[in-house]
Structure 1
Amino acid sequence: MSSRDTGPDPAPPPPGGVLWSEVGDIRVLLTLPAALTMQVAHPAVGAGVDDYSVFRTDPWGRGERSLRSMQLWVYGGDVAAAEGRRLRRLHRTIQGTDTRGRRYHALAGHTYAWVHATGFPVFLQGRKYLGRPYTEAQERQLYAEWLQVGRILGISDRDMPQSIEEFWPYYRKMLADEIEATPVVRELTDLDTPVPPPDRGPAPVRLLLRVLWPVLLPPMARFRRFVTAGLMPPDAREAIGLEWTSSQERALRRFGLLVRAVVPLLPERLRYLPLAREARAHDRIRRLPV
């Protein structure tokens, strides 16, 4: 049992912090495929997802649940720690043998920490293209806040580098020693992987998508692969073996210019995801003078 299960609940990152603006912004949706692919490139994580996840049969539901969970870590207030406990309970029975013949358990410290650690370099890579790059102070604040989120998830401080200076050697060692193109990585980045049509939203919309899905899926698959590789740090992309060309780089830069120009102009109801909007509204009310 993790010490996080028995000690006082860790608090989520504070309102007004880096994650407060980052995690609820719709641009996070573009970076999630890169983070997920880096996660399942770890043989143990890939095996766990391959053996236990419903990502093949219920990709839209799994994505919706994962996104809501991530939002709760930052915007959930007192619910954040409860969500962390729920995730640990969910992962306690996930175990087996990875692609290298090693026994794995989802909550093993080094495995669980890698899943969380991928978020930090992906945040940096995403900002490079989709927003204004962080200052050094913001980058350090981001890492400190991401460590705090890790505590909410029950990750021990001994399993996560406690500073940026410690993070990069750890990260490079993971890329050199562990990361590979696992079967799940290949499945997620294969343009021909079958994906069922979305099953969320009003019935007429679902019906229309079902009819149009054979036409819509191929360009969506190409775009997903494009943002997966492009918004993944280059050294991770190389370790996994994802192709990236100079023409793709130019296309990503053009796409990033468009996103950077449009998203900041959107009203809050369109720029931020629902839990983030609600939390931001509550925080503004809390700050009003009595």
Structure 2
Amino acid sequence: MGRFHSTSLRRSAGTPLSSSTTVARVSTLRETGGDAILVAGGARAILLQIANPAVGAGVAAHSDFSARPLDRLHGTLMYCYAQAYGTDADRAAVARRVNTAHGPVSDAAGAASPAYSAFDPALQLWVAATLYDTAVQIHDLVFGPLPAPAADELYREYAALGTGLQMPAELWPETRSDFRAWFDAEVDRLDVTPDAARVAAQLLTLGQAPLWLRASLPVVRLVTAGLLPPRLREPFGFRWTPRQQRRFARMLRVVRVIWPAVPRGIRFLPVRYYLRRLRG
């Protein structure tokens, strides 16, 4: 990952470059990874994560989406933006925060649940993989696929989400095609356990959340169901009909027209917000 950090341009997301200034090339992750539209896939990524039984058991025991619905989102965004846009000090600080939060998240296998540890490199690989796969899916749906060289670079750079913690670099599949074969096989093995179903219900209802957040949930549920692998929709409680598919397709058509026209500085506002929050 040294290549990523050395070729990245240290500038605020959304800051225009002067044509008269010679600068280092901006990495693909920095060009795409801070776009706020990627947050639309957040619930999809979480559901994929918790459908891994070990992750699901850990999240069920140590997270509370009903009482603190945005904690995991805030933590994930801060970590991702620090890895992509932060300084070495930012990355060290956010890793300390994550490691502190992960400290209590472990347990031995029980009668109905697997052993888990938030420091398990294989589980960190799975979480990072769901974030990468979700981000690419959203980006391709809204902006269209990246050219192959840029897509390859983005894939290599996303490994930082795992290697920034305890995941050794060699766990990240070598190429995008290797990743796709591995990821699809992992999806086939996912199981929506009672723990995962309970966490998903909390996430998608948010009974104690502010009214403005609960008002957005019908859209969140539609987008999440539309992005999920079809075989996981029913186990997670989604009913997917031709009418819902048409609504999802209409929404995508509107977003494809409107979102790319939004100024980049607005689309990348979360990067600046979360870096300030981390540094503060």
Q: TM-score range by the shorter chain?
A: 0.7 to 0.9
Matched letter for residue 218 of structure 2:
R
- AA aligned opposite 2:8: P
1:46 aligns with 2:46: no
Aligned to 2:8: 14
Deviation at 1:244, TM superposition (A): 2.9
Deviation of 1:117 (Å): 0.9
- Tell me, in whole angstroms, the C-alpha distance in 1 between the residues paired with 2:135 and 2:216: 22
Corresponding position of 2:16 = none
Q: What is the alpha-carbon distance in structure 2 between the residues aligned to residue 113 and residue 191 of structure 1? A: 22
- Of 144, 150, 157, 1:145 maps to 157
Give 1:98 deviation, angstroms.
6.7
CA deviations 1:39-72 (Å, max 9, x no partner) are 1111111111111113221113443333222221
For residues 157 and 87 of structure 2, the distance between their equivalents in structure 1, rounded to whole angstroms, comes to 14
Q: Distance in 1 between matches of 2:244 and 2:154?
A: 28
Distance 2:241 2:110 in 1: 31
- Which among 119, 143, 156 is matched to residue 168 of structure 2? 156
User: How far apart are the structure 2 equivalents of 1:99 and 1:150?
Assistant: 30
Give the drift of 1:233: 4.3
Aligned partner (choices 184, 187, 194) of residue 175 of structure 1: 187
1:112 maps to which residue?
A: 124
Determine the structure 1 residue equivalent to 2:102: 91
SS at match of 1:162: coil
Q: Which residue of 1 aligns with 2:66?
A: 56
Residue type matched to 1:246 in 2?
A: P
Whole-angstrom distance in 2 between the partners of 1:178 and 1:139: 26
Q: Is the 8 A contact 2:49 2:130 kept in 1?
A: yes
Q: CA RMSD in A?
A: 3.2
How far residue 188 of structure 1 moved from its aligned partner, in angstroms, is: 2.3
Give unpaired runs (5+ residues) of structure 1. Answer: 199-208, 280-290
Are the counterparts in 2 of residues 43 and 182 from structure 1 also a CA contact under 8 Å?
no
1:135/1:45 Cα in 2 relative to 1: closer, same or farther (>3 Å)? same
Amino acid of the residue matched to residue 124 of structure 1?
V
Report the number of matched residues.
256
Classify 1:273/1:188 alpha carbon distance in 2 versus 1 (closer, same or farther; 3 Å). farther
SS in 2 for 1:275: helix
**Counterpart pick for 1:227 among 214, 223, 228:** 223
- Secondary structure (helix, strand or coil) at the match of 1:69 reads helix
Structure 2 counterpart of 1:286: none
Matched with 1:71 is 81
- Name the amino acid aligned to 1:171: F
Report the Cα offset of residue 159 of structure 1: 2.7
For 1:63, the aligned partner's letter is: L
SS, match of residue 116 in structure 2 = strand
Distance 1:191 1:106 in 2: 20
CA distance in 2 between counterparts of 1:177 and 1:161 reads: 18
**Cα deviation digits, residues 73-119 of structure 1 (max 9, x gap):** 21112112432243123213311247853221121121121111112
**Contact 2:56-2:195 within 8 A present in 1 as well:** yes
Identical amino acids, percent of aligned pairs: 28
Q: Comparing 99-108 with 180-189, which one deviates more in the overlay? A: 180-189
Cα distance in 2 for partners of 1:139, 1:238 equals 31
